[in-house]
Structure 1
Amino acid sequence: MMNHSFLDNTMTFTSYGSFRPINYFFFTLTLLVYLLSIFSNVFLMLVIYFESSLHKPMYIFLFNLAVNGLIGSSTVWPKVMENLLSDTQKSSFLACLVQVFWGYFYMSSAYTTFSVMAYDRYVSICKPLQYHSIMTPGKVKTLLTMANVVPMSTLSLLVYLISTMPLCRYTIKNLFCDAITLLNLSCVKSDVISLIGIGMLAGLVVSPCIIILLSYAVILNVSLKASKDAQKKALSTCSPHLITFINFGVATLFFAIYHRFSSFLQGEVYILLTADWFAIPPLLNPVIYGIRTQEIRKCFVKTVRKKERFFRNL
């Protein structure tokens, strides 16, 4: 059973410093990025939801990716904005654990979602005649469930184990709580948690990346043997997924580099890496799909025209 008094311990963020007038500028910038991220993801979700022509596996998975973007943005930025306008940047240990859970869920669920999207593209391009028999509604539900439940269950175990570890220090040098920082604050080291962390990295990051790379290797091989029109179609359907995957992968790599070399990097570098991981993918993913995907562009124009006619008739 968890020690509730232990969970009520107060954690202090030291990377913000004392309140300064320039904090209003950073608050405004953060709020703008956060609102744009919320708007772009919600708008994409609404377009997919209301347009029956988009009720296909590819766009259902994209809907899940947009939900994941909302989770990632909302996990960090509201608390960051609160800290920017506060003289004392504090959080309970319980709130820290909640932030760790949803922050890592955002990362791991994104990778598992990218992997099922890559599988969908593989079936669509390499087995077009069998696509509808393979990507059945039941199969799509199963893939979506696995993409979310597997990260959620493994992260629940990790966060529970972290919650049982006693802390010797209560100061966090980062903008937000993360598992590695909390483990470094602990009085003891746990080989069990380390093994679970390695297993999660292998199962929720490395394995999805391997699936994605293998899927696109096969797609590339098939496309090179196809006609020019088929190659163009394959490129148009795969490029948004590849761009967003590379964008997220680079952001994760930067975040990992920070933790590996944090003692050599200045705090400003960490802020940029955090912004890249939690701001850029949720903001750019729906924009990239909206620009690069023809069906979404058509539905977007259709939706805008509907709104124009609605306001004209008022």
Structure 2
Amino acid sequence: MSLVQQLRGTGVAIVTPFQSDLHIDYTALGNIIDFVIAGGVEYIVTMGTTGETPTLSKEEKKDIIWFTYDKVAGRVPVVVGVGGNNTAELVKELAWFPLEKAVAVLSASPYYSKPSQEGLFQHYKTLAAASPKPILLYNVPGRTGRNLSAATTIRLAREVPNIAGIKEASGDMGQCMEILRDRPQDFLVVSGDDALALPQIACGMDGVISVAANSFPRAFTEMVRLALRHHFKEAKALNDKLIAGYELLFAENNPAGVKAAMYELKLIGNYLRLPVVPVSEGLQAKIKEYVKG
């Protein structure tokens, strides 16, 4: 089965729950995994940036990956995030992290360094050659400071073996449509913007890797499935109810917003590692009201 078939629909970039002492809360993590699978997600992404990976040690990441495989137990595919701005170090991590049970590796573009398009191409080409699993590009210029252009994306898709798809979170609909127009047939294209997932699927995307599906998996995954079946009137009706939720989740910070919602759902404690802090009291109250409604 191709990745386009395996990863069609909703993937969820799961959070990393912490205890009050900021150690990882594995009981809560197991509950989250059961919750999102019961809610209908097609696959799980562990160690994405929503998991607060910049504040996790390599050993913690490794333990979380193994725990996720064991808890998922083959119920849905698992994608592992391995990203950063030191290409040589990432090559080592691709050999060090346990990727045997993953279907793909999601790798965000290098942050802060702001490489040229050729630098981005060579970075991903190097990772693809080193990775034991297919690489999914992750374009999120709001966090990295550099856009991975449509031309570079298509060049990677056509010229580099083991580049299998992209999570596109530029928010640029024109760029998204260029990628969808020019992609190879077996190149996966998914949204990285919950609020844009519906129109992007209408343009031809294969689904979404979602933050909101941590807290609202049932409604969100059903909206995505309806859209993929071209039932846009029904999908829009569900999405209209979720729009306020998207706005609340991302009003101050991700994953502070989604963790606030998951706290109100009694899935996790509302703990984050610095420099990320819980949302303000006013936003927490609004999230609580939305979740209850």
In the superposition, the TM-score normalised over structure 1's length comes to 0.26
Higher RCO, 1 vs 2 (CA within 8 Å, ≥6 residues apart): 1
Greater Rg by CA: 1
In the superposition, the TM-score normalised over structure 2's length comes to 0.27
- Structure richer in strand, relative to its length: 2
- Structure richer in helix, relative to its length: 1
